[in-house]
Structure 1
Amino acid sequence: MTDWTQVVDAHGAAGRVPLLLDQVEREEVPEAWEELWDRLCLHGETVSAASFAALPRLAALAPTCAQALELASAIVRGTLRHPDGEALLTSCSNEVAQLRGLVDQELRTRPADYNRLFGDLLALAGQYHWSASMGDFTDDFYAVSCPGCEAEVTIAVGDYGCYTAIRDWDRGDIERRTLRPAPAEELRDPGRWMHATADRDGQQRLAEGIRYLFGRAECPACANVFNIAEAHTTANVPPALETH
């Protein structure tokens, strides 16, 4: 049983949170959901101790309430934005597994907001880095450092091409080199199951983008060929979190 006097939400004392949860458990109240979002996942990203404390009750509602599933998933996506997020999430491992199953089930229906739900699935699987950084591959750019010469390199995956380049703010992307997508059968996790999920659900743009993101690139500065996903993870994830 949560002692709500010992936790805070985005605005301070969390006394309102259990009352709001009681309210939405009884009936669908738009104003109550709006306040819960404001307190538990402010601006869709700021989480607090109260957010994780609310997860069990949100997970219990999630099978029959889309609002609860969306809010609970958003909280998990914000895990790394809270200094104790991973520790707080540990006590909710069963709820996270349940939520992951529900999101995966929803993805199979190929909803209009597939990419958002796919990001939720990544977070629920512990892939916080990719949940936060991976786009829809319409017009995606990723900044990395070449492992060979440490040059700043831009990786583009989208309608404008799939290439690596040196970004010049006057001339745009110069010295382009075509990316080398990973063959689907050679992908390793997490890229393998990410690709398999997107392919299963007929999301071909997403599946192909993942092949490029987990493929290889040639550095325009030194011609070194490197793994894109590894370089991007190194550039964006603190060493202590690289095991995820």
Structure 2
Amino acid sequence: MGLNQAGMNDWHSDVERVPELLDRVERRDDDDEAWTELGRRLILENDLVSPAGIAALPRLMRLAPDSTEARHLAGEIMERAAGHHGCDDLLADSAEAIAEFGILLDRHLESRPADYVVTFRALLAVEEQYHWANALGDFTDDFYDVLCPQCATQVTIAIGDYGRYSAIRDWNLGDVDRRDLRPTPIERLSGVGRWMHETAVRDGHVALAEGISHLFGRAECPRCAGVFTVADEYEAANRPVLR
């Protein structure tokens, strides 16, 4: 099923405009007006992706080696690929292009680019780690809300330049009853946490690596003093069920 076929409409119910815009940016990558319109037509304000967005992925990924705009837009679409777009079969058919896109993203990370975190998030989406792709920041001002598995209290996890702690958020007083996070030692990281950490270390991104060790570390609930793994509770609440 291609972009011009039924069901491949964008957010304006138009099946012809996206192919026209792709033709334009293929001819001239610096067509900012066309890239801006593509973004509006493929991704909705509430972070849903249109059917045309899924259909456009292979073509955007072919442009990605020579186009920052194509790489970023394909990454944004991938970050939303677990949402409701009605094109799961089409996404599955693009598996080869997505795998090649992942290789491209990983190589770009090794060059230590200015858009490192944006690229990292796109690679997480390619690896179907959608919950992290949509939540990971650069750990200068990151917050994660989780429920304590023992007493069900909502706990705010802060990982940033201002501190790395668990707390109870009071909208008048701020974060109260702070408890320092307990980062996981590198040798004890496993699974996606280990992969994320090793990638950041490989590329010399020290702040990101340290933030990941805290994100996959343990926190103390300020209410009941129960200790839990931050990433486990965040994943339990936010990891999408893949169809």
Please state whether the residue corresponding to 1:150 is helix, strand or coil: coil
CA RMSD, Structure 1 to Structure 2 (Å): 2.0
Query: Residue 43 of structure 1: CA displacement?
Result: 4.9
Distance change in 2, residues 1:171/1:17 (3 Å): closer
Decide which moves more: 119-128 or 229-238: 229-238
- 1:82 counterpart (74, 81, 84): 84
Distance 2:15 2:154 in 1: 44
Report matched runs for 1:60-139 at 5 Å: 60-84=62-86, 86-139=88-141
State the partner residue of 2:165.
163
Q: Secondary structure at the match of 1:165?
A: strand
Taking structure 2 as the reference length, the TM-score comes to 0.91
Amino acid at match of 2:84: H
Aligned length: 241
Matched-pair identity in %: 51
Do the aligned residues in 1 keep the contact of 2:61 with 2:74 (CA within 8 Å)? yes
212-221 vs 5-14, greater mean Cα deviation: 5-14
Structure 1 residues 208 and 161: alpha-carbon distance in aligned structure 2, compared to 1, 3 A threshold? same
2:4 is the alignment partner of 1:4: yes
Unaligned runs of 5+ in 2: none
> 2:49 touches 2:85 (CA, 8 Å); kept in 1?
no
Distance in 1 between residues matched to 2:205 and 2:101, nearest whole Å: 21
Instruction: Indicate the larger mover: 63-72 or 48-57.
Output: 63-72
Q: How far did residue 120 of structure 1 move? A: 1.1
The residue that corresponds to 1:175 in the other structure is: 177
Counterpart CA distance in 1 for 2:69 and 2:153 is 44
Q: How does 1:1-244 map to 2 (within 5 A)?
A: 2=2, 4-6=4-6, 7-28=8-29, 29-43=31-45, 45-84=47-86, 86-238=88-240, 240-241=241-242
Shift of 1:57: 1.3
Give 1:203's aligned amino acid. Answer: H
For residue 164 of structure 1, report the CA deviation from its aligned partner.
0.9
- 1:164 is paired with a residue whose SS is strand
Query: Which blocks of at least 5 consecutive residues in structure 1 are unaligned?
Result: none
Distance in 2 (alpha carbons) for counterparts of 1:120 and 1:72: 8
CA offsets, 1:139-186, max 9 Å, x none? 211111110111111111111111111122232222221111011111
Deviation at 1:83, TM superposition (A): 4.1
Q: Which one is further off, 155-164 or 59-68?
A: 59-68
| TM-score in terms of structure 1 length | 0.91
Is the 8 Å Cα contact of residues 166 and 176 (structure 1) preserved in structure 2? Answer: yes
Name the aligned partner's letter for residue 102 of structure 1.
L
SS at structure 2 position matched to 1:12: coil
The alpha-carbon distance between structure 1 residues 193 and 85, as it changes in their structure 2 partners (threshold 3 A), is farther
CA contact (8 A) 1:119 1:131 kept: yes
